Structure 1
Amino acid sequence: MDTVTVQSVTDGERPRVLLVGPAEHVESTADELRGAQPAFAVTTATSGERARSIVGERDVDCVVCAEALPDTDGVSVLYAIRDSHPSIPVFLYASEGSEELASEAISAGVTDYVPVSLGEEQPAVLANRVINGVEKHRTETALERQRERLAAINRLHRVLEDVAVSVIETPTREEMERRVCERLVESDSYAFAWIGDVDRGTRAITPSASAGGEEGYLEDVTITADESDTGKGPAGTAVRTSEPQIVGDIATAESFEPWRETTLERGFRSAASIPITHRGSVYGVLTVYSERTNAFGGRESEILDALGDVLGHAFNAVQRKKTLMGDVLTELEFRIPELESPLVAATEERDCSIRVDRTLPAGEDEYVQYLTVEGIPPDAVRDLAAQVDSVERVSHLGAEETETEHQFEVAQSDPPLTSTVAAFGGRVRSGTVRDGEFRATVELPPDADVRSILEAVRERYADAELVAQRTTEQDAVTTGEFRSRVFEELTEKQRTALEAAYFSGFFEWPRENSGEEIAETLGVAPATFSQHIRNAERKIGDVLLDEARDDEAPEGAGDD
């Protein structure tokens, strides 16, 4: 037998061909195709029933069927295959004079015919037609998948945009969670979505919102964030690592073993779990399911990851708003002894103290603290702080009039206490280091989970103690009261300079009038106007940030 040589399939994978026909026919044809260059992966079936079974159970690129079989005919086999696999190439052997068969086959969606009368040329003709049919089918399938993926990405982009807008308008976390889940399912890309909260004590992940046709699914599964089998799935791993987790095929993924049967019964084939985070704090996890395998490609995963960031920022904002706007607060006082810091140790050895004035996030993994240090020379502060691995730089900002207190700016990579507290919507109202220990007063929403907060603080500071817990009230300040307080702080000349600058467009971009032009209008020197504006801005900052100082810097000659 001569070797049949054919053009290779574009992706290099051998065509998987199912030959259907009488035994003596399919075996000889199978030998010819297996001996082709490149070789075909051939499976044979000698009955229509067996052919339908193979197509349903295995990956087949192409079907070649004889006109007649022991239990049926080729057209009936073609109809049966088209019902379940409408796009797979199907070739039919055709003998001369079978016009009626040809008409029926065309109606059934045959791909092409292979004439029986070709004799010795028949194997080569069959092989090349199979190659062409498989290449066309694979190309069309790849294009269709690409179109579906692009459509899914576009839908997900719209979801992200909608969520970014809606979270601004949504007053509660519960409402945000519900809207996000509903919007993801409405996009038609996903079958089911849910958001879960993590119990810091038990490490159980409890669903707080869901959408889709399978809400009962969550009642049938147990999901945790620990190292047990129920914590090794995508949701638990996402919480532990703060990284998105993708399961392309639930049927084969080892990590999905505890929930595989229940999940597959509902038609879910792939899943993605996205941690909901902000500034290193995990607020929960978003998990999305698709009825398609490998539904979460690189770009899709990136958009979902961005959605997790948006939600983390929004959840944090809602909790902070509760603290800032609420009339009643929960106040906690922490004592943290034995902080591993040479600067802290110095307060035990000397008559000195450190006050944390403010902590600000400065990047993905960087924080800036503004400190007031009393009783330690600036050079000594820099030397002591430089011994801490997480400290990246220390800047001396200046000294108070007494010259015993100095202000410093310290950039560090380790998340401070404020970062931990912020995850629960709280803020550190005050923080002081004295006699080798750090004491901090924290304000939180009235419904804050104190046990979880204490556990979170102890994860960061193992020897932290909760020494006091109080319920306090804060007075609400109206816009008018705030304005009056600002004006009380300003001198008449500062207020005049500020109002002239505001109404002259000095604060617009680009500026409508320069400082020199406004100074000329007011009849003062440009340097005097600039000094008035700087001092006015500083005093507004003092009032706004609740950091008003008792002693103000002198205004200079221009105030006289």
Structure 2
Amino acid sequence: MLDSTPSESPDRVVEIELGLRDQSYPFVGISDAASCGVVLTKMLPRPDGRYAEYFTVSDDAGDRIETAVTQRETVSATRLRAKDGRCLYEFLVSGDCPAVYLAERGALPRRVRGEEGRGRIVAEVPARYDASAIVADFLDAHPDATPISKREKASIDPLFARTAFHRLLRTNLTNRQREVLQTAFEMGYYDWPRRHTGSEIADRLEISSATFSEHISAAERKLLTAIFQGAGSEPAH
């Protein structure tokens, strides 16, 4: 049951938690079909309108995950790496995804997990958005969802200090990858709705759409690797 009222303070956020059982959602259905837990670590928009969602699963569930994905038309999966008994998968999702739905309305998914057919999403809503309205819209669009909690908490902490983040960019990305990533950001590629497409950004940079996709994907992959495995783990090349 939702149990708190959001504050108007710009230094606070509202954390919402929602439960899901609908098997049509990839992280719920795949966790059920593979009898395992899947945890979302990051999601990024792709140039073709799909989203790349990065999930970790236990190493021994890898084969079951791949079998489950082949049975879903709107999802493809690629195993990126395995470490310490966990596998990192990239799911390319073109169908309905509740985490994407929240993100598009200003709620920032922080924990997304599927466990043997039961899904759980924890998201943070910045003060400039109406958390109650977002929850109400979500429940209307996802009738199977269950509101679990809503509470006010301290403002979202930055992932990196500024100096550490700039060092990560210099160490892990080539000059061209940094240029493409920065231009994409400045032109609103990561905004919702997206202000410019990948093709438009490619035109600005005077490169082909395929080259843009190659550079932006490489930059995102390197940053994700640095975040999840430690900065400096993948040198610029």
Deviation at 1:355, TM superposition (A): 0.9
**How far apart in 1 are the matches of 2:100 and 2:128?**
19
Structure 2 residue 159 is matched with structure 1 residue 482: no
- Cα 1:379–1:331 shift into 2, 3 Å: same
Paired with 2:222 and 2:134, the residues of 1 have a C-alpha distance of 33
The answer on whether the counterparts of 1:385 and 1:394 sit within 8 Å (CA) in structure 2 is yes
Q: For the Cα contact (< 8 Å) 1:367–1:415, is it kept in 2?
A: no
- Compute the TM-score of the two structures, normalised by the length of structure 2: 0.61
Q: Any idea what the Cα deviations from partners look like across 1:217-240, whole Å, max 9, x if unmatched?
A: xxxxxxxxxxxxxxxxxxxxxxxx
Task: Deviation per CA, 1:154-185: give whole Å up to 9, x if none.
Answer: xxxxxxxxxxxxxxxxxxxxxxxxxxxxxxxx
User: What SS does structure 2 have at the residue aligned with 1:452?
Assistant: helix
Shift of 1:447: 4.6
Residue of structure 1 in register with 2:32 after alignment: 345
Contact 1:420 1:456 (C-alpha < 8 Å) held by counterparts: no
- Could you tell me how far apart the structure 1 residues matched to 2:221 and 2:43 are? 20
Tell me how large the CA RMSD over aligned residues is: 4.0
* Match for residue 154 of structure 2 among 466, 473, 486: 473
Kept in 1: contact 2:114–2:120 (CA 8 A): yes
| SS of residue paired to 2:68 | helix
- Secondary structure (helix, strand or coil) at the match of 2:143 reads coil
Q: CA deviation at 1:483?
A: 0.4
Largest Rg, 1 or 2: 1
> In 2 relative to 1, CA 416–508 (structure 1 residues): closer, same or farther, beyond 3 Å?
closer
Structure (1/2) with the larger helix percentage = 1
User: What secondary structure is seen at the aligned counterpart in 2 of 1:430?
Assistant: strand
Relative to structure 1, the CA distance from residue 456 to residue 376 in structure 2 (aligned partners, 3 Å threshold; closer, same or farther) is farther
Query: 1:467: Cα distance to partner?
Result: 0.9
Q: CA deviation at 1:424?
A: 2.3
Q: 2:17 aligns with which of 312, 320, 333?
A: 333
Question: In 2 relative to 1, CA 396–327 (structure 1 residues): closer, same or farther, beyond 3 Å?
Answer: same
The equivalent residue for 2:137 is 456
**Given that residues 367 and 414 in structure 1 are in contact (C-alpha distance below 8 angstroms), is that contact kept between their aligned partners in structure 2?**
no
Q: 1:421-460 counterparts in 2 under 5 A? A: 421-460=102-141
CA distance in 1, matches of 2:22, 2:221: 37
- Map 1:218-237 → 2, pairs under 5 A: none
Structure 2: segments with no counterpart, 5+ residues: 1-9, 181-218
Paired AA for residue 437 in structure 1? R
Structure 2 partner of 1:156: none
Q: State whether residues 99 and 112 of structure 2, in contact with CA within 8 Å, keep that contact through their aligned partners in structure 1.
A: no
Match of 2:200 in 1: none
- Relative to 1, partners in 2 of residues 1:387 and 1:363: Cα closer, same or farther, differing over 3 Å? same
Q: Which moved more, 1:429-438 or 1:362-371?
A: 362-371
Residues 330-351 of structure 1 deviation map (CA, whole Å, 9 limit, x = unaligned): 111111124346412146xx4x
Q: CA deviation at 1:459?
A: 3.8
What does residue 223 of structure 2 align with? 541
| Secondary structure in structure 1 of the residue aligned to 2:90 | strand
Report if aligned partners of 1:356, 1:432 keep a CA contact under 8 Å in 2: yes
Q: Percent identity?
A: 18
Q: Deviations over 1:141-165 (max 9, x none)?
A: xxxxxxxxxxxxxxxxxxxxxxxxx
SS where residue 431 of structure 1 aligns? strand
Taking a change above 3 Å as real, the CA distance of residues 441 and 506 of structure 1, as seen in their structure-2 partners, is closer
**Equivalent-residue separation in structure 1 for 2:140 and 2:232 (angstroms):** 41
Q: Where do 1:51-130 residues align within 5 Å?
A: none
Cα distance, 1:378 vs structure 2: 2.9
Mean Cα deviation higher: 382-391 or 447-456? 447-456
8 Å Cα contact 1:357/1:371 also seen in 2: yes
Question: Equivalents in 2 of 1:433, 1:382: separation in Å?
Answer: 16
Are 1:418 and 2:99 counterparts?
yes
TM-score scaled by length of structure 1: 0.28
Residues 1:506 and 1:398: Cα distance change in structure 2 (over 3 Å)? closer
- Between the aligned partners of 2:123 and 2:136, the Cα distance in structure 1 is 15
Alignment-mate amino acid for residue 398 of structure 1: R
**Code of the aligned partner of 1:483:** T
Would you say how many aligned residue pairs link Structure 1 and Structure 2?
184
